[in-house]
Structure 1
Amino acid sequence: MELHNVRLEKEGAVAVVVIDRPKALNALNYDTLKELLYCFKTLAQEKEIGAIILTGGGEKAFVAGADISYMQELNGLEGAEFGALGHAVMAAIEDAPQPVIAAVNGFALGGGCELSLACDIRVASETAKFGQPEVNLGVIPGFGGTQRLPRIVGKGIACELLYTGDMIDAAEALRIGLVNKVVATDELLDTCRVMASKITAKGPIAIRLCKETVNNGMQMDITRANRYEATQFGQCFASEDQKEGMKAFLEKRKPSFQGK
């Protein structure tokens, strides 16, 4: 697929996906969502990529929301189809075998907040702003916001944000657990690159199984989830990476993981 709204860059074992519509504050229209879906589906097949950073182009926005000028004329069926496409993108991010780090460099509103919620880790610049303002437009979040936000920050805080449509700054996002950390704007991408590089230095099979186990286990009761973890733990012992990792530990050297 030819990309017009998204840039895909590779830096060794780290891929950087940039939503590149700065004049539109990186708003998510149909074409941008299709390009994002393509990028994450493609990266999921690339074993040499161990971590992904997702960010917005320009200095003002991560993603300021879904494109209202596009959505304005949609009917009920078309709105549902647009929502389904958004959900497919979020699922592709969650289902990617690689951890995905959101580098939130400005406004993350509506669909932009939802996009960050689908990522495994969120790092925000000091200028970042978050919110689900859909009720101000007479609609509800349509890309998973009503489901992922309560799971991350708790029901009460999520309901306040969803019902009021209020926007919060990076410091408040950190306080409520919406983001992992807040850094200076000019340090954002480098901070995410360091984190991504740390992840890619670990056993790739273990990282993939960790992500699978966290995401799938959160949909289960604790008893089933613990049984699932035990099964996933056992899978690690069928890998060469487990043998190498433990051997390296006992030999007091760095392991050389091969993803096998």
Structure 2
Amino acid sequence: MLQRLVDDDVLVLTLDRPEKRNALDLELCRALQGALDGAVTGPQPVRAVVITGAGSTFCAGADLDGVYGDDFREAHYGMLGAITSVPVPVIAAVNGPAIGGGTQLAAACDLRVATQAARFAVPTARNGLAVDPWTIRRLAHLVGGGHARGLLLAAETMDLGAALASGLVQREGDLTDAIALAHDLAALAPLSLSYAKRVLGSPHLPDDDPGLHAEFLACFASEDAAEADAARREGRRPVFRGR
């Protein structure tokens, strides 16, 4: 259902429902949310997360046998919320088609690395369903209004080339490349990454929001900022501890 692997300070989560092309059901959504909620508070806290799919599909979307109940919708959007709220970078390693809920899952992540086999689509207009306003705005923010209209109103499919050109995908690569990127991010200052992630994910908050301002100032006052300064003067790489 969900494979969990900790590689030093990187958590790799693999959707593993090959018989359903890794489609999301209630159990898988809850498992993903649980893994993300414990990513930084569990016995093995990590500094970056990679989400991918087993086999040749990233995620075929929601399992249509169970999407019509309130329980699934709550679990689905709770899982997407966990991706955006966990205070570490989350990378989608898109190894194949990401359809419907699969595109939502990839879009919720902070960065996307994808192979030539990747395909993105949100065909809700073909099945009478809908995605929530957050997803629509998130897609418009990531790919621009024109591409978002193509995905949502024309039910178009975006291949890797279009995804790279639009900014939906940041890098071409496979799971190994995504994990390497995650390790690179894990070596950066955690407070700086957490702050940037929160601002990027909260475009509705004013610039003078007290919480954001406090996080901004905390970066400058952190031990990590002092460590970066010391490392620069000593000619070595800084070792950040997230405090």
Q: Same fold (TM over 0.5)?
A: yes
Q: Which runs of 4+ in 1 moved over 4 A?
A: 227-230
SS state at 1:190 partner: helix
Give the match for residue 53 of structure 1: 50
The separation in 2 between residues aligned to 1:207 and 1:177, in whole angstroms, is 20
TM superposition shift of 1:8: 0.8
- State whether structure 2 residue 20 is matched by structure 1 residue 35: no
SS state at 2:201 partner: helix
Give the match for residue 220 of structure 2: 237
The separation in 2 between residues aligned to 1:126 and 1:224, in whole angstroms, is 42
SS state at 1:164 partner: coil
Q: Show CA shifts across 1:196-247 (max 9, x none).
A: 111111122222222223223x2235x447x876543311133211111111
Give the match for residue 180 of structure 2: 194
Structure 1 counterpart of 2:54, one-letter code: G
> Contact 2:143 / 2:168 at 8 angstroms: preserved in 1?
yes
TM superposition shift of 1:142: 4.6
TM superposition shift of 1:99: 0.2
- State whether structure 2 residue 6 is matched by structure 1 residue 16: no
Give runs of aligned pairs for residues 89-128 of structure 1, distance below 5 A: 89-128=79-118
Structure 1 counterpart of 2:128, one-letter code: G
Which segment is superposed worse, 112-121 or 204-213?
Answer: 204-213
Structure 2 counterpart of 1:202, one-letter code: L
The separation in 1 between residues aligned to 2:235 and 2:119, in whole angstroms, is 45
TM superposition shift of 1:22: 1.3
| Distance change >3 Å, CA 142–CA 6, structure 1 → 2 | farther
Q: Considering only aligned residues, what root-mean-square deviation do their CA atoms show, in Å?
A: 1.9
- State whether structure 2 residue 236 is matched by structure 1 residue 253: yes
So what's the TM-score if we normalise by structure 2?
0.92
TM superposition shift of 1:252: 1.5
Which segment is superposed worse, 133-142 or 18-27?
Answer: 133-142
The separation in 2 between residues aligned to 1:247 and 1:158, in whole angstroms, is 45
> Contact 2:227 / 2:240 at 8 angstroms: preserved in 1?
yes
Give aligned pairs, total.
242
SS state at 2:4 partner: strand
Structure 2 counterpart of 1:214, one-letter code: L
The separation in 2 between residues aligned to 1:220 and 1:145, in whole angstroms, is 18
Give runs of aligned pairs for residues 181-220 of structure 1, distance below 5 A: 181-183=171-173, 188-216=174-202, 218-220=203-205
The separation in 1 between residues aligned to 2:66 and 2:45, in whole angstroms, is 36
> Contact 2:26 / 2:71 at 8 angstroms: preserved in 1?
no
5+ residue gaps, structure 1, are: none
Give runs of aligned pairs for residues 132-171 of structure 1, distance below 5 A: 132-142=122-132, 144-171=134-161
> Contact 1:6 / 1:17 at 8 angstroms: preserved in 2?
yes
5+ residue gaps, structure 2, are: none
The separation in 2 between residues aligned to 1:92 and 1:11, in whole angstroms, is 21
